[in-house]
Structure 1
Amino acid sequence: MSDELYERGEQIRREVLGEAYVKNSIAATDAFSEPMRTFAVRNLWGDVWARPGLDRRARSIVNLALLAAANRPNELKIHVRAALNNGVKREEIAEIFLQVALYAGVPTGSDATRVAKQTFAEIDAEQKLS
């Protein structure tokens, strides 16, 4: 039996987050975490991310602001990469976190900026190796 939402979700997830991230995520999944991963792939990626109302770039911008404001550094790191994949520039990410600082507090914006800088450094190091 085909699960179109799940299949579409995996495709979008690979395009947005990258093949390496998805492979690592699948490898790290066990019986306990499988229901959550399946739920996210089907509903978050296969449904919401597939909707026509916002393009992927806009969704990434919203995610960066929300994840920063909600103090979710692990997810923020993932979505900094995704935002770059979706065409958001590093300078724009800095501006997003300034906006977050204004509305959610300077410590929140500063933490998000630190996460982004760390992620940029990792990406730069990976690109030097390839």
Structure 2
Amino acid sequence: MSPETQPRYLQGLAKLREIDGHAGERVVASLADIAPDFARYLIEFPFGDIYSRPGLDLRSREIAVVAALTALGNATPQLKVHLQAALNVGVTREEIVEVLMQMAVYAGFPAALNGLTAAREVFAAADEQPMTA
């Protein structure tokens, strides 16, 4: 049986789609030609194992991810994906801004400023998307 038909993979793929939609699928697809095993691990471990755990809801998980990626300060592409994911799972723009401002205390003003810049870009792109019924 191929890894792509295993329950762990299928659970992870479903969770990835629930959280990230097409953006997550694009990230995975972008790895197909260089590191297909890494793409599979990305689906199985973070989404199949961790995001699927019952201890936190998806809003809380995405708030934590946005905070962590902001604090890292070197993961802007991933931060943008997770800012959109946070919106997808019901985190408001105001809550996102508050999380990013909170990071100034623990990760410094440059990290918070970079996070706010990324959020501005994600919010603007979301505003440009046509509304679906």
* Alignment-mate amino acid for residue 55 of structure 2: G
* Structure 1 outlier segments of 4+, above 4 Å: none
In the alignment, the residues of structure 2 paired with residue 108 and residue 82 of structure 1 have an alpha-carbon distance, to the nearest angstrom, of 20
Among 43, 46, 52, which residue is 1:44 paired with? 46
Q: Give the stretch that moved more between structures: 27-36 or 86-95.
A: 27-36
User: Hey, what does 1:24 align to over in structure 2?
Assistant: 26
Q: Structure 2, unaligned stretches of length 5 or more?
A: none
* Alignment-mate amino acid for residue 112 of structure 1: G
In the alignment, the residues of structure 2 paired with residue 79 and residue 23 of structure 1 have an alpha-carbon distance, to the nearest angstrom, of 13
The TM-score, its normalising length taken from structure 2, stands at 0.90
> Would you say the 8 A contact 2:70–2:111 is kept in 1?
yes
In the alignment, the residues of structure 1 paired with residue 101 and residue 34 of structure 2 have an alpha-carbon distance, to the nearest angstrom, of 38
Distance change (3 Å), C-alpha of 1:51 and 1:23: closer
User: Hey, what does 2:97 align to over in structure 1?
Assistant: 94
Displacement of 1:31 in angstroms is: 3.6
Write the deviation string for residues 15-58 of structure 1: whole angstroms up to 9, x where unpaired. Answer: 1001x224433442334221111101001100000000111000
| RMSD of equivalent CA atoms | 1.7
The TM-score, its normalising length taken from structure 1, stands at 0.92
* Alignment-mate amino acid for residue 107 of structure 2: A
User: Hey, what does 2:72 align to over in structure 1?
Assistant: 70
In the alignment, the residues of structure 2 paired with residue 26 and residue 100 of structure 1 have an alpha-carbon distance, to the nearest angstrom, of 28
Identity of aligned residues (%): 34
Q: Structure 1, unaligned stretches of length 5 or more?
A: none
SS of corresponding position for 2:130: helix
Distance change (3 Å), C-alpha of 1:99 and 1:26: closer
User: Hey, what does 1:104 align to over in structure 2?
Assistant: 107
In the alignment, the residues of structure 2 paired with residue 77 and residue 21 of structure 1 have an alpha-carbon distance, to the nearest angstrom, of 10
User: Hey, what does 2:117 align to over in structure 1?
Assistant: 114
